Structure 1
Amino acid sequence: MIKKSLKTLYAFVFLCIIWELLYLFSAGIGIPSILNTIQALIRNFPVLMRHLFASALRLFYGLSIAFIIGTLTGFIMAKVELIDTLLSPIVYVITPLPKVAFLPIVMVIFGISETARIIILVFVVIFQFIVASRDALKAMPKAYQVSMKSLNLSKKSQLIDILIPYSAPYLFSAIRSGFGMSIAVLFFIETFVNQVGIGYYIMNRWGMVNYPDMFSGILLLSIFGFVVYGCIDWLEQKTCPWRNISNKPKS
């Protein structure tokens, strides 16, 4: 725990040094100092939190829907050969495509609405969950499958006691990468005819040439991302404790 805290402190200090060097190099043009940015963050905190809450809610809905549908689809593909044969080519063709390119199509169908934004978020990350859950079960050792059959476990018991715990590390990795992609996409889509959201706030302040306020939004978004990643790591440690056994010193 202490070692991890020291690594976090080191990264924070390193980024602060780079930030201040860029500020000095630019003579304050376009890049405010850390102190000015923190002052802007404190000054605009209520407004910033309103925008951040709206963005966080969109991320929550998008990731939750994508996780549930994507994971279930991946599990079904891994267990039913026919469905896997039918869906695998489609998944592998769509996965590398730039999903943001479909934003105009979604907006034509659903309009410029919250529904359209959430659909795009789901579309961006759902294939990661499909591939992660499918590949996890496909890579499961034969010994696990033989054990399930020999113990005559019910479908429910197989899912809860073996399949989900085994695939959990793969899913957590997909959640991390999916969250990072979602923030980038959300930042982009919040600039389209929108008046609330951290992406809108940052771009609005950029248009007003208010760089301290703009960077305060960037700083808050970075803190939010750091906290979310920390929560994901904590949740993984609690739900997948066996991953840390090999890293513990032998007595």
Structure 2
Amino acid sequence: MRKYLKLNTPIPGKLYFTLSITAFAFVLLLWELGVTVGQLPPSHLPPPGAVARAAWDLAADGLLGDIGISFFRVTSGFLLAAAIGVPLGILMGTLKVVEAFFEPLLAFFRYMPASAFIPLTIIWLSIFETQKIGVVFIGIFFQMVLMVMDVTKNVPQDLIDTAYTLGARPLEVFRRVILPAALPGIMDTLRITLGWAWTYVIVAELVAANSGLGFLIMNAGRQLNTPDMFVGILTIGILGIICDMAFKAFNRLLFPWMEREV
């Protein structure tokens, strides 16, 4: 194992998978010990078995419907933010005049918490699906644009200068140098902001909602039903892992030259 403890040294995929599974097993063991040995009250920390039984009961009582509704809201808000934010971020990272116009304004809005806009989105968009999608959009759009801008700006200047030296025109430099070099980083940005989207959709569903995983958690909290609350929280984590793995697989498919040992 000594060779794998060097800084930034890749490790085999099997070892990576084994360590990942071990981490989850360790957390599950601590959870069980906290209930049995630590004698924590079930109202504070239900045992894993109780959470599993609650998940089984909820699966037969509409859990999949709540998952589908939350997934639709996340996907809609995320795709809307990406459709506007990615092109704008690329332009800001490529053209200084565009950056000078938009960057201070977007940086200003970036520090405003999306949860503070929930009352306004209810007034503007009512309490229907558009309001939940709007909260997701507000929560990730400004950070997404600025992160895409930074990725685009960080394309090595040597590549751009070399393309100009070889006679490429500005549009060719953008299409054949800047965009291909920035795309892997842009996809990583989308992967990160998708995780934030799940956070904001739950925040949106805690208020003025009658469906979704956030509503499930809030409703269980009103009834002091901690197993159901844990089911909702863990379901979000599982969905997040699935989305993250799907993004990584998609990145490997699109950019095979970026792949190396895990």
Q: Same fold (TM over 0.5)?
A: yes
1:240 to 2:252 alignment: no
Q: Given that residues 43 and 225 in structure 2 are in contact (C-alpha distance below 8 angstroms), is that contact kept between their aligned partners in structure 1?
A: no
Deviation (angstroms), 1:153: 6.1
Q: Choose the corresponding residue for 1:33, options 35, 43, 47.
A: 47
Match 2:202 to one of 182, 187, 190: 187
Residue 53 (structure 2) pairs with residue 44 (structure 1): no
Give the drift of 1:191.
1.6
Aligned to 2:121: 106
Structure 1 portions without partners, runs of 5+: none
For residues 22-56 of structure 1, the C-alpha deviation after alignment (integer angstroms, 9 at most, x for no partner) is 32331323321111211221222141111011001
Counterpart AA for 1:44: L
1:154 Cα deviation from its structure 2 partner:
8.0
Q: TM-score scaled to structure 1, two decimals?
A: 0.88
Q: How many residues align?
A: 246
Tell which deviates more after alignment, 166-175 or 71-80.
Answer: 166-175
Tell me how far apart the structure 2 counterparts of residues 134 and 27 of structure 1 sit (CA, whole Å). 49
Amino acid paired to 2:226: Y
Residue of 20, 26, 30 corresponding to 1:18:
30
For residue 130 of structure 2, the aligned residue among 115, 118, 128 is 115
Given the alignment of the two structures, is residue 217 of structure 1 paired with residue 232 of structure 2, yes or no? Answer: yes
Q: Is the 8 A contact 1:136 1:166 kept in 2?
A: no
Offset, 1:159: 5.2
**Do the aligned partners of residues 127 and 116 (structure 1) sit closer, same or farther apart at CA in structure 2, a change above 3 Å counting?**
same
Query: Does the CA contact (< 8 Å) of 2:160 and 2:173 recur in 1?
Result: no
Percent identity over the alignment is 22
Query: Could you tell me how far apart the structure 2 residues matched to 1:66 and 1:181 are?
Result: 12
1:2 is matched with 14
When the two chains are superposed, the root-mean-square deviation of aligned CA atoms in Å is 2.1
Q: TM-score, normalised by structure 2?
A: 0.85
Question: Kindly tell me: are residues 223 and 82 of structure 1, through their superposed partners in 2, closer, same or farther at Cα, counting changes over 3 Å?
Answer: same
Structure 2 unaligned blocks of 5 or more: 1-12
> 3-state SS of the aligned residue for 2:97?
helix
Distance in 1 of aligned mates of 2:230 and 2:144: 32
Distance 1:229 1:23 in 2: 30
